[in-house]
Amino acid sequence: MSFSRLFQRRSYSAMCSLVQDRRPGGFCFDNCSRNKLLEEKGLVSYKAMKTGTTICGVIFDGGVVLAADKRATEGNIIAEKACNKIYYLSDNMFCCGAGTAADTFMTSRLISSQIELHRLNSGRLPRVSFQYY
């Protein structure tokens, strides 16, 4: 089975369980009063910047759902309409990338190869918090 087909199946099943386990919620405006107070004291808040990439991660009881758009832009021009931004690292890890597509692709390949070497040397998958120095 291809990676994309496997990823779609895992994503679909994860989304189905997310919909079934949906908790009541909505928008939370708890920080509005705090932000107003900070502005009155003269602290400047960060300005939102448009980067052109949409990446989202949602944590739920059964795991994590990752989503990303597929457009690669160069300024106002859409250079690629089918650019993958979710990369396979190992059976238990994926990552999302924003920025230069070639850099994120090669960086994820490098990390994936290091994780595979670790798995072969140790006989087990690294934990998600595993770091290389």
| d(C-alpha 34, C-alpha 30), whole Å | 8
Task: Specify the pLDDT at position 107.
Answer: 92
**Mean pLDDT per 10-residue interval, the chain, length 133 residues:** 55 49 60 83 75 83 89 82 90 86 89 92 81 52
Alpha helical stretches, state H, the chain? 3-20, 32-40, 101-122
Q: Which two tokens stand for residue 11?
A: 């994503």
Q: Which of 53, 54, 100, 107 does the annotation list as catalytic?
A: 53
Maximum Cα interatomic distance, the chain, rounded to a whole number of Å: 58
Q: Which two tokens stand for residue 24?
A: 């009541």
| d(C-alpha 14, C-alpha 116), whole Å | 25
User: Is residue 53 flagged as an active site residue?
Assistant: yes
Task: Specify the pLDDT at position 117.
Answer: 92
Give the number of other Cβ atoms within 10 Å of residue 9's Cβ.
Answer: 11
The string of pLDDT tens digits covering residues 7-19 is: 555 554 545 444 4
Q: Which two tokens stand for residue 89?
A: 């690292």
